[in-house]
Amino acid sequence: MDVAALFWGLLFSSIGLGYFIYGKRQQAPVPLVCGIVLMVFPYFVSGPWTLVLVGGALMALPYFVRL
């Protein structure tokens, strides 16, 4: 594992924690689930480019999907 993957994993996990807290307080399911996935997926993805692509897509998902 390289330093870039660790950095991106930490960044997306931190953003995921924010999404999780927001989704829990607002009782919004999409940010809640995206926050959980953002916190967990860096454990399963090792490449930095894959981390950036998947993390960016998960961060943009609550903006486009509103329930």
Distance in angstroms (rounded) separating the CA atoms of residues 11 and 65: 22
pTM of the model: 0.89
Give percent of the chain with pLDDT exceeding 70.
99
The rounded mean pLDDT for the chain is: 93
Over residues 12-36, the mean pLDDT reads 96
Q: What is the largest CA-CA distance in the chain?
A: 38
Distance in angstroms (rounded) separating the CA atoms of residues 16 and 39: 5
Predicted confidence (pLDDT) at residue 52 exceeds the cutoff of 90: yes
pLDDT band at 7 (very low <50, low <70, confident <90, very high): very high
- Reading the block at residue 56, the tokens are 């960016």
- CA 63 to centroid of chain Cα atoms: 13
Provide the residue count of the chain: 67
**pLDDT of the residue at 66:** 80
